[in-house]
C-alpha cells in the first residue's frame, strides 16, 4: 500500500464535539446520560442537563455498576482521599493554581553506586548528514503531487520536490509502484542504521526515533492494499478538497498557473479516484452502500453550488488575485481563466457521483474492520499510526473502561460534596460567545499558565455557505513548513449564521492553547521538515483535548464546576472510544451498538443510532485519536508530577519541545521509561 499524503490531513484538527456532527449527540453534558433512567434524548443532542438531576444522581451508582462492572471505589474511599484524587485527575492546577504537599517518600534499599556515563559527543557533521537524509525522503512521499507539497512546505523545492509540473495526488493501485514503495521503506530503515545515534543532538535523536517508528509502522501496512478509504464522512477527500482549493495560497504567478492547471485536471483526477474504488470493489473491499450513499448526498449538495455564479470557486479566487502585485489587466485575465476552468471541478464531482452510483451493491463485507479479511490487523495498524499508542485494541478497551470508571467516580464525589454543582453547571456561561473577543482572552490565559509564545498572527474565517452542510463545525489548517506560513481557524456557523454555543471550548481546542499554540510553539524548535508527515495525530489531538478542558479553569471559575464539566467530557470520550473499539475490534452490529448506547446514554432515535453506527464504520480509530491521545497525555502528566513540586510551565515546555510523536517515544525523552 503506497502511503498517500493527501491534502485532507490538513483539516483533521477539529474539536471532539465536531466528530458527532449530524449524529444527534453532543459529547458535552454526558453526565445525565450515564444513568440508565436519565431523561430521553431529543435528536437535537445532549446539550441540556436533565431537569431532575437529583434522581439521576441517585441512580448513578447503579449505572456505574452496569457500565463498569466491579468498580466500587467511589463507595469505599473516604471523601478526603477522593478530593485529593479529583484535583490530580482534573489537572486544574494548570489553570487554577493549587497548593501541593510533597509526597511522603518510601525508603528503598540503597543501590550500588554507578559510574557516571560518559557524555556523548555531539557531531555537527552527523547531525547535518541526518537532516539531509530525512529531507531526501520527502520527494518519494510527494512524487507527482505538487498540490499537497504546496500545502506542506513553503518552499518544496528546497527538499528536492519538483514543482515544475502541476500534479494532484494519485489513488489507483499500481503493483509495481506498491513494490517500489515497500523497497523504499526497507532501504530507508537500513540507511538509518548507518547513522551514529549517540552523536546526534537531542532534537535529532527524537526525530530519528519518530522517523524510524513511522517507517516501520508504514512497512507493516504494505499488505493492506485496499483498506484505505479516501471518501469518508465529513473529513473525507470529497469534503476537504473544495476547502483546500479555496485556501490554496498564491505567493507567485506560478502558483496561480498551477491552480488553474489543477482545475483542468480535476475530471481525470476523479477518474483515477474512481479507478481505485473500482479496484476496491473487485477485491470485495468497496464501502457499504449506506456510506457510499452518504458520499453521493454530499456530492449532490456540493453540485448545487454550481448554480451560484458568486460561489467560493469564484469569490475566493478573486480575493486572492486582488492581493497580488499584478496589473489590473493581468488580474482580469486570470479571473477570466478561472471562470473558464472552474466548471471542471463540478464536472469532476458529477463523474465521481455517477461512478459511485454504479458501484453500489458491490460491498462484500459489512460492519467493523474485524469483519474483513485481515481487518483486525489493519485496525491495529491504525491504532499505532493514528493514536500513537503501543497498546493493542484489547488493552485499549480495558484502559478506556478504567478511565471512564475513574471519571464517573469523580463526578459522583463532586456531587456528594457539592450537590448544587448541577444547577451551577446548568446555568454556567462563558465570558464571551464572540470569537474575536474569545481569542485574546484565551491568549491571555495561555500566557499566564503555559510557556511563553511570541505573538502569532492568525485569522478566524467562516466556512462558505455553500460548504456548510457537510463540513465539520471547526478546523485548524496546519501551516506549511517554513517562514511566512499563516494560521487559519475555520468556524462552520449554524444554519442561522450564528456561531456554535460551544465556541469558547472550540477555539481553545483549535487556537489557544490548543492546535495553533502547540504547533507554533513546537515549530520554534523543529528543523526537520519530514515531521510534517510522520507524526501520529493522537499527540496533537490529545494536547488539544487537554487544552480545551483546561479552558474550563479560566480565572474566577468555580473549581467544582470546572472539574465537573471536565470529568463529564472524560467519561464521554472514554465511552466513545469504546464504541470505536466495539465496532471495529469486537464486531458490534448496529443492534449491539444500540444496546451499548441505551445502557450509557439512554434512548436515541433509530436514525441517530444508524448515523452513529455508519460514522463509526466509516471512520475507524477516529475517536481513539481523541480519547487515547488525551488519556495517554494525562497519564504522562501523572507520572511526571508524581513526586510533586513540579512547575507545570516547565513540564509543558519539555512536552511541547519533543513535538508530535508516539507516546512511548515521548515517555523516553521525559525520562519516564
Dist. CA 229–CA 244, nearest whole Å = 19
> With helix as H, strand as E and coil as C, how does 198-252 read?
HHCCHHHHHHHHHHHHHHHHHHCCCCCCCCCCCCCHHHCHHHHHHHHHHCCCCCC
The answer to whether 442 touches 551, Cβ cutoff 8 Å, is yes
Using alpha carbons, list the distances in angstroms from residue 392 to 223, 298, 374, 382, 385: 19, 34, 15, 11, 12
The answer to which of 175-184, 460-469, 574-583, 622-631 has the lowest mean pLDDT is 460-469
**Rg for the chain, CA atoms, rounded:** 25
Q: What are residue 459's DSSP bridge partners?
A: 488
User: H helices of 418-499, where?
Assistant: 421-426, 435-449
Dist. CA 421–CA 427, nearest whole Å = 10
The answer to whether 391 touches 399, Cβ cutoff 8 Å, is yes
Query: What was the pLDDT predicted at 345?
Result: 97
State the pLDDT confidence band at 335, using cuts at 50, 70 and 90: very high
The answer to which of 120-124, 259-263, 393-397, 413-417 has the lowest mean pLDDT is 120-124
Res. 9: pLDDT tops 60: no
Mean pLDDT (whole number) for 50-66: 42
The three-state secondary structure class of 22 is coil
Mean pLDDT (whole number) for 440-467: 90
Residues near 326 by Cβ (< 8 Å), separated by ≥ 6?
253, 334
Phi, psi of 367 (to 5 degrees): 85, -155
Query: What was the pLDDT predicted at 471?
Result: 75
Instruction: Let me know how long the chain is.
Output: 673
How many helices (H) and strands (E) in the chain?
26, 3
Q: Which three cell numbers stand for residue 392?
A: 493493542
Cis before 513? omega within 30: yes
The answer to whether 461 touches 490, Cβ cutoff 8 Å, is yes
Query: What was the pLDDT predicted at 515?
Result: 96
Res. 185: pLDDT tops 50: yes
- How much of the chain exceeds pLDDT 70, in percent? 82
CB half-sphere exposure, 435, CA atoms < 13 A: 23
Res. 544: pLDDT tops 50: yes
Run of H or E including 53: helix 53-67
Dist. CA 511–CA 439, nearest whole Å = 7
Mean pLDDT (whole number) for 267-277: 98
Mean pLDDT (whole number) for 77-81: 49
Mean pLDDT (whole number) for 452-463: 92
State the chain's maximal CA–CA distance in angstroms: 83
The answer to whether 493 touches 499, Cβ cutoff 8 Å, is yes
Query: What was the pLDDT predicted at 80?
Result: 52
- The model's pLDDT over 126-170, given as tens digits with 9 standing for 90+, comes to 999 999 999 999 999 999 999 999 999 999 999 999 999 999 999
In terms of C-beta density within 10 A (0-12 exposed, 13-18 middle, 19 or more buried), how is residue 175 classed? exposed
The answer to whether 390 touches 661, Cβ cutoff 8 Å, is no
Please state whether beta strands 488-491 and 474-477 pair in parallel, antiparallel, or not at all (unpaired): antiparallel
Residues near 147 by Cβ (< 8 Å), separated by ≥ 6?
7, 166, 167, 168, 169, 244, 248, 262
Res. 380: pLDDT tops 80: yes
Q: Which three cell numbers stand for residue 470?
A: 457537510
Mean pLDDT (whole number) for 42-54: 34
Mean pLDDT (whole number) for 553-574: 92
Res. 522: pLDDT tops 50: yes
Res. 607: pLDDT tops 70: yes
- The model's pLDDT over 618-627, given as tens digits with 9 standing for 90+, comes to 999 999 999 9
Higher local confidence (pLDDT), 119 or 345 = 345
Dihedral of CA 467/611/387/399: which sign? positive
Query: What was the pLDDT predicted at 555?
Result: 74
Dist. CA 665–CA 532, nearest whole Å = 17
Query: What was the pLDDT predicted at 496?
Result: 83
Using alpha carbons, list the distances in angstroms from residue 654 to 372, 525, 639, 647, 657: 42, 11, 14, 11, 5
The answer to which of 211-215, 261-265, 660-664, 669-673 has the lowest mean pLDDT is 669-673
- For cell 466500587, name the residue: 72
Closest C-alpha to 618, from 366, 445, 402, 416 = 366
Q: Which three cell numbers stand for residue 336?
A: 477570466
Query: What was the pLDDT predicted at 580?
Result: 98
Dist. CA 118–CA 198, nearest whole Å = 11
Using alpha carbons, list the distances in angstroms from residue 539 to 67, 98, 634: 28, 26, 11
Res. 570: pLDDT tops 70: yes
- The model's pLDDT over 88-126, given as tens digits with 9 standing for 90+, comes to 444 444 444 444 344 334 334 344 434 434 446 899 999
Query: What was the pLDDT predicted at 120?
Result: 66
Res. 44: pLDDT tops 60: no
pTM recorded for the entire structure: 0.86
Dist. CA 389–CA 633, nearest whole Å = 11
With both helix axes pointing from N to C terminus, report the angle between 79-90 and 393-417 in degrees, rounded to the nearest 10: 120
Mean pLDDT (whole number) for 353-364: 96
Amino acid at each position: 500500500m503506497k502511503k498517500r499524503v493527501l491534502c485532507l490531513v490538513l483539516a483533521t484538527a477539529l474539536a471532539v464535539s465536531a466528530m458527532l456532527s449530524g449524529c444527534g449527540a453532543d459529547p458535552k453534558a454526558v453526565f445525565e446520560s450515564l444513568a440508565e433512567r436519565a431523561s430521553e434524548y431529543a435528536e437535537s443532542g445532549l446539550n441540556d442537563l436533565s431537569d431532575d438531576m437529583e434522581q439521576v444522581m441517585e441512580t448513578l451508582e447503579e449505572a456505574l455498576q452496569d457500565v463498569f462492572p466491579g468498580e466500587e471505589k467511589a463507595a469505599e474511599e473516604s471523601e478526603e482521599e477522593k478530593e485529593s484524587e479529583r484535583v490530580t485527575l482534573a489537572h486544574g492546577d494548570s489553570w487554577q493554581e493549587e497548593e501541593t504537599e510533597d509526597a511522603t517518600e518510601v525508603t528503598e534499599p540503597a543501590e550500588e553506586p554507578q559510574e557516571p556515563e560518559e557524555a556523548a559527543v555531539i557531531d555537527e557533521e552527523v547531525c547535518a548528514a541526518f537532516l539531509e537524509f530525512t529531507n531526501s525522503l520527502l520527494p518519494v512521499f510527494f512524487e507527482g503531487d505538487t498540490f499537497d507539497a504546496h500545502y506542506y512546505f513553503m518552499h518544496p523545492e528546497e527538499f528536492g520536490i519538483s514543482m515544475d509540473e502541476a500534479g494532484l495526488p494519485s489513488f489507483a493501485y499500481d503493483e509495481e509502484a506498491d513494490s517500489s514503495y515497500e523497497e523504499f521503506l526497507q532501504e530507508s530503515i537500513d540507511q538509518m542504521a548507518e547513522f551514529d545515534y549517540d552523536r546526534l543532538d537531542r532534537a535529532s535523536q527524537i526525530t530519528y526515533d519518530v522517523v524510524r517508528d513511522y517507517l516501520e509502522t508504514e512497512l507493516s501496512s504494505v499488505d493492506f492494499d485496499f483498506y484505505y478509504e479516501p471518501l469518508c464522512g465529513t473529513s473525507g477527500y470529497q469534503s476537504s478538497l473544495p476547502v483546500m482549493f479555496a485556501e490554496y495560497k498564491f505567493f507567485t504567478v506560478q502558483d496561480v498557473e498551477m491552480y488553474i492547471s489543477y482545475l483542468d485536471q480535476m475530471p481525470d483526477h476523479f477518474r483515477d479516484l474512481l479507478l481505485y474504488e473500482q479496484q476496491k470493489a473487485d477485491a470485495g473491499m468497496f464501502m457499504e452502500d449506506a456510506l457510499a450513499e452518504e458520499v453521493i448526498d454530499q456530492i449532490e449538495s456540493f453540485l448545487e453550488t454550481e448554480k451560484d455564479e458568486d460561489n467560493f470557486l469564484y469569490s475566493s479566487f478573486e480575493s486572492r488575485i486582488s492581493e497580488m502585485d499584478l496589473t489590473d489587466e493581468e488580474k482580469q485575465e486570470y479571473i477570466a481563466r478561472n471562470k473558464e476552468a472552474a466548471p471542471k471541478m463540478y464536472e469532476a464531482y458529477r463523474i465521481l457521483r455517477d461512478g459511485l452510483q454504479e458501484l453500489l451493491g458491490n460491498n462484500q463485507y459489512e460492519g467493523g474492520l474485524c469483519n474483513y479479511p485481515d481487518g483486525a490487523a489493519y485496525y491495529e495498524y491504525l491504532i499505532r499510526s493514528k493514536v500513537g499508542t503501543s497498546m493493542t485494541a484489547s488493552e485499549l478497551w480495558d484502559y478506556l473502561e478504567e478511565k471512564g470508571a475513574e471519571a464517573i467516580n469523580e463526578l459522583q464525589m463532586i456531587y456528594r460534596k457539592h450537590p448544587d454543582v448541577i444547577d451551577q453547571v446548568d446555568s454556567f456561561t462563558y465570558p464571551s460567545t464572540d470569537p474575536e473577543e474569545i481569542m485574546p482572552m484565551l491568549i491571555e490565559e495561555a500566557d499566564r499558565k503555559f510557556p511563553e509564545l511570541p505573538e502569532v498572527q492568525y485569522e478566524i474565517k467562516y466556512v462558505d455557505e455553500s460548504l456548510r452542510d457537510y463540513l465539520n463545525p471547526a478546523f485548524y489548517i496546519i501551516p506549511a513548513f517554513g517562514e511566512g506560513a499563516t494560521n487559519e481557524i475555520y468556524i462552520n456557523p449554524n444554519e442561522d449564521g450564528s456561531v456554535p454555543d460551544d465556541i469558547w471550548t472550540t477555539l481553545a481546542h483549535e487556537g489557544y492553547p490548543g492546535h495553533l499554540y502547540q504547533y507554533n510553539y513546537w515549530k520554534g524548535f523543529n528543523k526537520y521538515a519530514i515531521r510534517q508527515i510522520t507524526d501520529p495525530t493522537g499527540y496533537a489531538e490529545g494536547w488539544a483535548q487537554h487544552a480545551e478542558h483546561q479552558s474550563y479553569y479560566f480565572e474566577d471559575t468555580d473549581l467544582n464546576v470546572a472539574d465537573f464539566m471536565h470529568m463529564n467530557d472524560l467519561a464521554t470520550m472514554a465511552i466513545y472510544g469504546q464504541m470505536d473499539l466495539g465496532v471495529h475490534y469486537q464486531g458490534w452490529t448496529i443492534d449491539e451498538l444500540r444496546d451499548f448506547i441505551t445502557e450509557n446514554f439512554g434512548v436515541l432515535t433509530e436514525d441517530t443510532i444508524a448515523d452513529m453506527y455508519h460514522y463509526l464504520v466509516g471512520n475507524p480509530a477516529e475517536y481513539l485519536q481523541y480519547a487515547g491521545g488525551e488519556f495517554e497525555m494525562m497519564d504522562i502528566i501523572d507520572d511526571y508530577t508524581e513526586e510533586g513540586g513540579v512547575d507545570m510551565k516547565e513540564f509543558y515546555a519539555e512536552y511541547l519541545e519533543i513535538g508530535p510523536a508516539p507516546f512511548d517515544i515521548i515517555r523516553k525523552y521525559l525520562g519516564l521509561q
